[in-house]
Amino acid sequence: MALDVESRQVVETAEGEVFDQLVVNVGPSHPSTHGVCRVIVHLDGEIVTRAEPVIGYLHRGIEKMAENRTYLQVVPLTDRLDYVGSMYSNWAYCRTLERLADIPVPERAEYLRVIVCELQRIASHMMAIGANGADTGALTLFVYAFDQRERVVELFEALCGQRLTYNYVRPGGVSYDVPDGWIEDVRAFTTEHRSALAEMDKLFFGNTITRGRLKGVGVLSAADAVAWGASGPVARGSGVNWDLRKHDPYSVYPRFDFDIPTGTEGDCYDRARVRLYECYESCRIIEQALAQMHSGSYRTEGLPRLIAPPPGDAYDHIESARGALGIYLVSDGSPRPYRMKVRSPAFCNLALLPMLSEGHMLSDLVAILGSLDPVFGEVDR
């Protein structure tokens, strides 16, 4: 059976030393693999000598399916790519389509997109930090973080009726305008979220056990982060100051005042900490966006149901919670995409796992995997 691996191997090192190697199969269903990742781990005692991720357990063929859907029917498919942060896939796809078919977007829609995507960043990072805590034995943090995520999900439910797969960002705008009282609810949430973040910072990041488990584990140098194509909090945790919101500004992001938190060490601790500070910055962006947003139309009226862009191709990317999420579309003039390709940040970040986990204990492997924050809907597509 495909799941069986040879459990003992005799290995001879270059120096002529012979030792027994234990091969352990982790996954594809394992609570700490964040989905359906399978890692074949080669162990010397308790030290990982080689970790080999096996992906594809959630390959659903979304890119191929898109070729048989009209451009509007692809939007719900993109929801299922990165299911922890569906708004990003929606937005990246819609931006590419808007560029390809030259669809205008009203200003209010751009602000709404920024607000929901920053809320989504908070929800996604809460999941990542909480899972990082749960992997290292601090399940309490997961409960704290999931409480915050649940509030964001409630806001989304009030906005578009769905808790997880929103289908909210549509070509030419968004699907609904804000309901009554929603803006006040978001303001109340950001205030409350800041104090919750401060609490989590003290509870988790100041904790001696956490520091012992995460500091110095899975160190990624800035040069490696760039060379391996890492992006998002994984690259920023290593001190690479690269964020598409600042360095390739899109939408209305240039109008906001915010900072890019970066780490210094590049270990699991810094990656998790960067995510926490990004939540503060997201709160800042949301508050500014709410103050600047004017009334107006939330979508472009009169768009045809069957969008048939002129032949050609387009690529656009946004900064998702996991990094640079890009979508490439090729049109042959018909109302269906000729080809859709997703540049998935989770896939690129997961490629770092063998390098980062080498030489660490098996129990650190889950901490490293958690700090890379892969979502397998997006890795396998």
d(CA 41, CA 141): 28
Tell me the HSE value of 198 on the side-chain side, using a 13 A CA sphere: 5
Residue among 70 and 300 whose Cβ is closer to another protein: 70
Determine which residue in the list 42, 80, 113, 125 makes contact with another protein, applying CB under 8 A: 80
Work out whether 153 is an interface residue with another protein (CB under 8 A). Answer: yes
Least CB distance from residue 254 to another protein, whole Å?
Answer: 33
Work out whether 338 is an interface residue with another protein (CB under 8 A). Answer: no
Work out whether 10 is an interface residue with another protein (CB under 8 A). Answer: no
Work out whether 143 is an interface residue with another protein (CB under 8 A). Answer: yes
Give Dmax over CA atoms of the chain in angstroms. Answer: 74
What single DSSP character describes residue 175? S
Least CB distance from residue 5 to another protein, whole Å?
Answer: 10
Determine which residue in the list 28, 133, 171, 337 makes contact with another protein, applying CB under 8 A: 28
Strand pairing category for 173-174 and 312-319: unpaired
Residue among 36 and 119 whose Cβ is closer to another protein: 36
Q: Are 229 and 348 in contact (CB under 8 A)?
A: yes
DSSP 66-126: HTTS-TTTHHHHHHTTSTTSHHHHHHHHHHHHHHHHT----HHHHHHHHHHHHHHHHHHHH
Work out whether 30 is an interface residue with another protein (CB under 8 A). Answer: yes
Site map 190..219 versus another protein, x via CB under 8 A: ------------------------------
d(CA 223, CA 235): 10
* Bridge partners (DSSP) listed for residue 40: 25, 52
Work out whether 6 is an interface residue with another protein (CB under 8 A). Answer: no
Residues that bind another protein (CB under 8 A): 1-3, 28-31, 35-36, 54, 56-61, 64-65, 68-69, 76-77, 79-80, 83-84, 127, 142-143, 146-147, 150, 153, 163-165, 376-377
